[in-house]
Amino acid sequence: MKDLAEKFQRHTTTDVVFDQLHEDIVSLTLLPGTKISEVEVARRFGVSRQPVHDAFNRLENQDLLLIRPQKATKVRQFSMQRIAEARFVRLAVELEVIRHACTLWDDARADKLEQNLELQQQSLDNAQTEQFHTLDYQFHKLICELSGCLLAYKMIGECKQKVDRLCMLSLGKDDELTTVFEDHQHIAEALRSKSADEASAVVRRHLGRLDDTISYIHETHSEYFE
C-alpha cells in the first residue's frame, strides 16, 4: 500500500490506474477475454470511478480493452488481422529508420548501442527475462533516437506491443530470447559498417521470425482470439 501511495503522489490517479492495468494486460495477468468493471477497479485502487473511466478509455484507444455499451467491458482478444496490420506498419517504419540510420551512423552511436547489447547479454546470463524485454524495447528506441527519428519509435513501440502481448503465450522463451539477441547483434554490426542492405535484411529476418510463433499460438490458444 505504501508503494501505491507513493505512485499517487508522483502521478495523477488516472495515470496510476492506467499504468497498472496496462501492465496487467500486456503481461497476461489479465488474459484476453477477461471481464473487468469500473466499480471493481475503483474499489481495488480506492478511488472514484472517474479516473478509472478515463484509464479505461486510454486502454481502449491502445486496443487493449473492448468497451461495449450496456455490456461488460473485457480485455481485448487478439485479432489476426490487427496483428498483421501492426506488423506491416512496424516493418515499413523500421526499414526506413534503419536505412536513414546507416547514412549517419558513427563510432559514438555504435558505442551507445553496444552498451545496450552488453546489458542484454547480462540479462540473458542472469535469466532476467523482464529486464531483457525492457532492453529490447530500449534497443529499438535507441536506434530511432540516435537517428533523429524518435517520433517513429512511438509507432514502432505501439505495433511491437500488440505482437509481444500475443507472444507471451509462446513456449521456449529462453531460446527465442537468445535468437532475438543475436539478431540485435547483427543489426548493430550492419549499422557499424553502414550497410543499409544488410541492416534491412536483418530487420526483415528479425521481424519475420514471429510468423510461425503467431500461427502456432493461433492454433493452440484459439480461445484468446476474436
Q: Which residues contact 41 (CB under 8 A, 6 or more apart)?
A: 17, 21, 52, 55
Same structural domain for residues 41 and 124? no
Same structural domain for residues 136 and 114? yes
- What is the chain's mean pLDDT, rounded? 92
User: Of 75, 100, 119, which residue sits at a domain end?
Assistant: 75
Same structural domain for residues 68 and 22? yes
**Residue for grid cell 477475454:** 33
Across the range 84-105, mean pLDDT stands at 97
Helical segments of the chain, H only: 2-10, 13-26, 38-45, 49-61, 80-104, 107-125, 129-146, 150-167, 173-192, 196-208, 210-220
Q: CA angle 181-186-191, nearest 5°? A: 125
Percent of the residues in the chain that have a pLDDT greater than 90, as a whole number: 80
Query: What pLDDT score was predicted for residue 169?
Result: 83
Same structural domain for residues 71 and 119? no
| Rounded CA separation 164/174 (Å) | 15
Structural domains in the chain (count):
2
Task: Using a cut of 0.75, tell me whether the model's pTM lies above it.
Answer: yes
Query: What pLDDT score was predicted for residue 5?
Result: 55
Same structural domain for residues 53 and 88? no
| Rounded CA separation 49/178 (Å) | 43
Bridge partners of residue 74, in order along the sequence: 35, 66
| Rounded CA separation 112/139 (Å) | 10
User: Of 75, 94, 123, which residue sits at a domain end?
Assistant: 75
Residue 167 has pLDDT above 90, yes or no: no
Q: Which residues contact 108 (CB under 8 A, 6 or more apart)?
A: none
Same structural domain for residues 40 and 105? no
**Residue for grid cell 539477441:** 181
| Rounded CA separation 83/226 (Å) | 12
pLDDT in tens, 13-60: 999 999 999 999 998 999 999 999 999 999 999 999 999 999 999 999
User: Of 52, 75, 98, which residue sits at a domain end?
Assistant: 75
pLDDT in tens, 169-185: 875 456 788 999 999 99
Same structural domain for residues 137 and 206? yes
Residue 160 has pLDDT above 70, yes or no: yes
| Rounded CA separation 134/20 (Å) | 16
Higher-scoring residue by pLDDT: 67, 10: 67
Same structural domain for residues 29 and 125? no
| Rounded CA separation 22/36 (Å) | 13
Q: How confident is the model at residue 101 (pLDDT cuts 50, 70, 90)?
A: very high
pLDDT in tens, 107-136: 999 999 999 999 999 999 999 988 998 999
Residue 92 has pLDDT above 90, yes or no: yes
Question: For residue 112, what is the domain's CATH number?
Answer: 1.20.120.530
Q: Which residues contact 218 (CB under 8 A, 6 or more apart)?
A: 78, 80, 225
Q: CA angle 26-28-31, nearest 5°? A: 115
Bridge partners of residue 65, in order along the sequence: 75
Same structural domain for residues 219 and 147? yes
Query: Domain range for residue 170?
Result: 80-224
| Rounded CA separation 97/38 (Å) | 40
Q: State the cell numbers at 144.
A: 530511432
Same structural domain for residues 112 and 220? yes
